[in-house]
Amino acid sequence: MTVLLPLEPLDERAKQMTTADDRPPAVEVLSAEKVFANGARGLAPIDLAVAEGEFLTLIGPSGCGKSTLLKLIANLIEPSDGRLLWWRGDFKQVGQEGRRLAFVFQEPTLMPWARVEANVRLPLEFANMPRAIADPKVADAIARVGLSAFNRHFPRQLSGGMKMRVSIARALVTSPNLLLMDEPFGALDEFTRNRLDDDLVNLSWERKLTTVFVTHSIYEAVFLSTRIIVMAANPGRIFRVMTIDHPQPRDQGFRDSPRFAAYCRELSTWLAEASLQSVAGGEK
């Protein structure tokens, strides 16, 4: 057996989380692994359950497979072995049961030729929703991210942070059950990032979203998450799991608290260890 055990009994914890609450987990990753075409092992077999309503963050050094794991969860790529379940069913059932996934990319990926409202309406157009029903939803999603005054603007007239807000509105407009975000604020300055984090943490709480979030930022991870998965590389695997035990919604008060600092310190230590393991670890 070449299974690299995570240092914490992750499976136990995941099971506890699902049994504490009768609802099935939103996503289950069952021994899923990813070997790329060039033979590189992107992900060692991984077991993970994402509970309903959870804000789960994946963090780790470069090459630890956090984006790969997120893409597996988004069904953008297929696992080489193992499988994933969404609400205890396969991916085809997600749409049939009226559940929706939304993905926010690292870049805003807006259509430059379309106004803000048209960009946000796009997912509804894919669903062939009539304009009369779509328009209030679009207006609501734009209002949610605080851009109502800009709905007739073109993307090039907006700042980087505003474009990212549009991208989030576009994800929210379908009222997704599962929101997947791949370093959405990575390219923004810290001030803008903090403000968007404030909005996001409250949005996901209000809407009871299940969110899987990828980031490089320790502060962002601690601020947003209910649970943080620390990953290590060579091969990509789960290193440790941290539960952030602080009620939502959260605000600046949480950032200024000693507990926040303590979480950050611990996470920072874990990440340093994960980086060391990423060099030393793996198959010889």
Partner 1 sequence: MKPLLDSEAFVRIAAPLAVGVVLFAVWEIGFRLAAVPVYLFPKPSDIFNSFLQHGPSLLRALLVTLRVTLQAFVAAVVLGTLIAFMFVQSRAIEVSLFPYAVLLQVTPVVAIAPLIIILVKNTQLSLTICATLVALFPIISNTTLGLRSVDPGLASFFRMNRASRFKTLVKLRIPGALPYFFGGLRISSGLALIGAVVAEFVAGTGGRSSGLAYEILDAGFSLDIPRMFAALFLITLTGVLLFAAMVALSQFVLSDWHDSETRTET
86 lines the binding site for partner 1 (CB under 8 A): no
Q: How far is the CB of 94 from partner 1 (least distance, A)?
A: 11
Nearest to partner 1 of 9, 89 (CB atom): 89
Closest to partner 1 by CB, 76 vs 279, is: 76
Q: Does 130 bind partner 1 (CB under 8 A)?
A: no
**What gap in Å lies between CA 126 and CA 131, rounded to an integer?**
12
User: Binding-site residue total for partner 1 (CB under 8 A)?
Assistant: 19
Segment 95-114, which members bind partner 1 (CB under 8 A)?
101, 103, 105, 107, 109-114
Interaction between residue 47 and partner 1 (CB under 8 A): no
- What's the Cα-to-Cα distance from 270 to each of 59, 153, 241, rounded to whole Å? 10, 44, 10
The residue length of the chain stands at 284
Q: Are 26 and 13 in contact (CB under 8 A)?
A: no
Site residues for partner 1, window 209-228 (CB under 8 A)?
A: none
Q: b/e string for 185-219 if b means 16 or more Cβ within 10 A?
A: beebeeebbbebbbebbebbbebebbbbbbbebbb
Residue 59's alpha-carbon distances to 62, 116, 182, 242, in angstroms, are: 9, 31, 11, 11
Lay out the site mask for partner 1 across 151-170 (x = CB under 8 A, - = otherwise). ---xxx--------------
Contact 36, 42 (CB under 8 A): yes
If binding is defined by CB under 8 A, does position 123 make contact with partner 1? yes
Provide the binding-site residues for partner 1, judged by CB under 8 A.
Answer: 74, 76, 101, 103, 105, 107, 109-114, 122-123, 125-126, 154-156
